Structure 1
Amino acid sequence: MADSSEILALLLLCAAGWYWYDGLRAREAALRAGRTACERDQLLFLDETVVLESVRFKRDTGGKLRLRRRYAFEFSAPLLAGGDNRRDGTVLMLSDRVESLSLAPFRLQ
């Protein structure tokens, strides 16, 4: 029979696996959302990646406690003048659903 330390280790391993898998799903959804927003606005989605900036707990509309992740990405407008035309975008994910997406303001010349 397993003692309590083995059971605790197994539970921690399961929790870590769930956190990793849930994070992969959220990251892929954030990546799709950023890419889609850039395509919609005729912007370039740079580096083809999103970066996890923060993880917090937040309740959804049904009152369930979920993980809220903030992802950052960079984009560029092909028509922006000058050499430095990288802008920041963020995607807020509640579990594996997009809560909001924002793009830094830019001005076309």
Structure 2
Amino acid sequence: MIEAMIMLVVVGTCAIVWQDVLRARDRAIAASRELCARAGVQLLDQSVSLRRLSLARLRGGGIGLRRQYTFEVSTNGSDRHRGSLHYEGRRLDNFSLPLRADDPSLASLTRLN
């Protein structure tokens, strides 16, 4: 009986972790789409992928996950460049995108929260 309860707790914990991973990836995809649209670059191949995952002390003082996602973009339709998103917990902390040759200013981009 105790083995069944332990197994149920393990399976339930795995399901919760899996759901959190999927929600975080969905947030990263949405943020990368919006940033690419604002910057006038094309997000390629739905290429958002988790590159790094670590525990970190968050700005609020607690401990949470720090995630880094990478993705590929094109500035003119025939090239490929790498962009990245950095999350602390559920908050987008930083991002990087390549500059387009015809629009060197990304001043219109603001952080997404």
TM class by shorter chain equals 0.7 to 0.9
2:34 to 30, 33, 36: 36
* Pair 63,55 (structure 1): closer, same or farther in 2 beyond 3 Å: same
Q: Which amino acid aligns with 1:53?
A: R
Question: Is residue 26–residue 97 contact of structure 1 (8 Å, CA) maintained in 2?
Answer: no
Q: Which stretches in structure 2 are left out of the alignment for 5+ residues? A: 103-113
Comparing both chains, which one has the higher relative contact order based on Cα–Cα distances under 8 Å and sequence gaps of 6 or more?
1
Shift of 1:11: 2.4
The TM-score normalised by the length of structure 2 is 0.77
Q: Which moved more, 1:37-46 or 1:52-61?
A: 52-61
Distance 1:100 1:24, change over 3 A: same
Give yes or no for the alignment of 1:99 onto 2:93: yes
Shift of 1:45: 0.8
Q: How many residues align?
A: 102
- 2:101 alignment counterpart: 108
Is the contact between residue 72 and residue 91 of structure 1 (CA under 8 Å) also seen in structure 2? yes
Residue identity over aligned pairs, in percent, reads 32
Q: How does 1:8-23 map to 2 (within 5 A)?
A: 8-23=6-21
Please give the alpha-carbon distance, in whole angstroms, between the structure 2 residues aligned to 1:16 and 1:95: 19
Q: Aligned runs of 1:1-109 on 2, under 5 Å?
A: 2-3=1-2, 5-78=3-76, 83=78, 85-103=79-97, 105-106=98-99, 108=101
TM-score normalised to structure 1 length: 0.79
Secondary structure class of the residue paired with 2:46: strand
